[in-house]
Structure 1
Amino acid sequence: MGAENTTISIQELFMLMFLFEIGSTTLFALGIDAKQDAWLVILVALIIGLAFIWVYTELQRKFPEQNYIEIIISILGRGFGIPLALLYAVYWLWPAARNLREFGELITIVALPEESLAAILFLFILLSLYVLLSGIEVLGRTSLITLPIVLIFMLSIFILIYLSGVADFNNIRPIMANGIKPVLKTAYPNVAIFPFGEILICSMFWCYTEEEKLIRKTAMLVIILSGLLLSFTLFFDVSVLGDYYTSVTRIPLLRIIRVVDVGILTNIDIIGIVIIFLGGFYKMSIFLYGVARVVATVFNVKNYSRLLTITGFFLLWVAIVFEPSYVFHRWMTPFDTNYFYITFLHIIPLLLLFINWIKERINILSEG
């Protein structure tokens, strides 16, 4: 598969990015440090995420036919651009491995406790490679079917929780009892970066759509809608469990599903498991594609299929060796966000935009 033959419609781009944003967000109680105001944290982080979407898409508008790594090299030159590009490959490999490992462990915990974790991760990688070796556009076409299923499942959960009467909306009161400061502190950098800042990986295939003028609107719509969905999820998590049990429960989404009891509709854990699997598959696959595309761009690799396969199995090895447990994963998350994520997702794109602006001003003055 060559990038030059790849075309993604704006609808497929929307679906892929939406599934990526849903990804692993359904697993965690994001923003729960703000207690009952966790759902407000998501809305504040959403606004910050929109600001950085403008930065990402402004870079894309300056270089519409290039992916993010090519943009870096165009702005910084090969001397500085290639080392930075390789650092992005390493950086993106880490969340890809963590996503693979966490979804493997969670599927083992909730669905297949007797199965080998390594076997589950292996099958996960094989499935991802099977789709990606046909092209990112094939992954995009599958998303046209997958996203409606996920959204129907999520909306069904909200409706069933409400009808079952297990939600106590007093659990979200009082709103902002301690003022706005805890909400802002929790929103940035943690939630603004995960999940909203992570969408930068999608800039590795923005250049493949023929409707580049719609990329910004599409990305912003994804951030808004996925943010609202996540806010609703946290709203119901806290309403059902309370802020304390939401914070200590391993998978709040599954926990609230298990308390649903509407007539014959009980024990509908399968809905949560399907959402977890699909979200993990798309998020990990997009990260895997991005890492392989970085390497292909830097080294001008012609046999992309072989590179993608090698990258996939290297990712499998990293997931097994460098992530010893789910507890370790949760412990490492704040460190990742406060140092690595904020550097690669916020600081560097801002610097790139600023450097390109200076270069444009210099060119204008020299021509004048």
Structure 2
Amino acid sequence: MKSVILGIVTAFSLTAVAVAQDATLAPPALHTDAIPAVLEKAVDGFIRPGYSHFRDEAAALETDMRALCVAPSAVELDKARAGFDSTVRAWSTIEIVRVGPIIENNRFERILFYPDRKSTGLKQVQAILAKPDESATAVETLKDKSVAMQGLGALEFVLFGTGSDGLLAEKDSFRCRYGAAIAGNLVRLGGELSTEWDRPDGIQNAWKHPGPGNVVFRDGREAVTELLGILVHGAEAIRDQRIENFYKGEENNTFPKQAIYWRSGQTWTSIQGNVEGLRSLLKVSGMDKLVNEDSRSIVSSLDFVAKSLIRVAGDINPDIETAVSDPIEREKLDFLLLNSKDLILRLSNDYGGAIGLTAGFSFSDGD
């Protein structure tokens, strides 16, 4: 495995040299004539379909949860768990978008409260399961409770955590009805996000028509900077919050139970989805059209790195304790650490430089 990884890393290095050579052929330039089409494709080809897909998967999950409550069986539990997995995949792809309606009213944290380093959410979920509160079994009242109790993390514990076998023991159990309410809350949140992005005069209009009268983007450069910021921050979150939260390398301690979705075995599904989201947004929006033709190999190299990360993540043992302790699996984890950092730098420095953003540019404050 190590020789394979080294071979890929070497290929990345050679690609980086080629990109650097290409970048010297033409001065940095942002092709402003391509901006409208890129922004429209980002919104209509990635963001809006991403939220609607998440909403639809959550709706199917709610249906499965309610069926489990009405007629508990191993078959229905397996369907509900599979529905959870599908919802995680749908969310993980669109999760990289952390701008606009998702950051209003704590929607992001309501869908996914993570990282939870102090186990705040876990303790709250365990407490309500130990001492049932009927107000947690209806979306209308659950949505007003702690954000840590109403999203994917809470539902994962309901379906996969300690005591989840009890879902089979009793018809309409509190645990099951609480889980169904969580799924319903995800549908509500997904519906709100879709509605906000689908309104012609709302956030999509602000993205598609930057200009002096636009309260969000005064010009196309600001909008493109925000778009690239989604990619950069998404790549940073993959490395800093998804991987390093439980694995920092061979010389450091490991914390497998701090990995996202470790109970359900969906850690790598989530990370693959995050990277696939980055790759899809980059390709669907046509961001290569914003740079000089001689610099477009930068985008090809980004796609190459992203596909390699997806492939290796899909080959790691889903049992996180095994993944962090087995030498062969750790080589794959080290690969993810190394090349997720490479992805960040290629997005921020190489692509950012190709559209004329200066070194040290901050995507967080837009200057």
- TM norm. shorter chain > 0.5: no
The one of the two structures with greater contact order (alpha-carbon pairs below 8 A, sep at least 6) is 1
More helix by share: 1
Tell me the TM-score normalised to structure 1 length: 0.27
Tell me the TM-score normalised to structure 2 length: 0.28
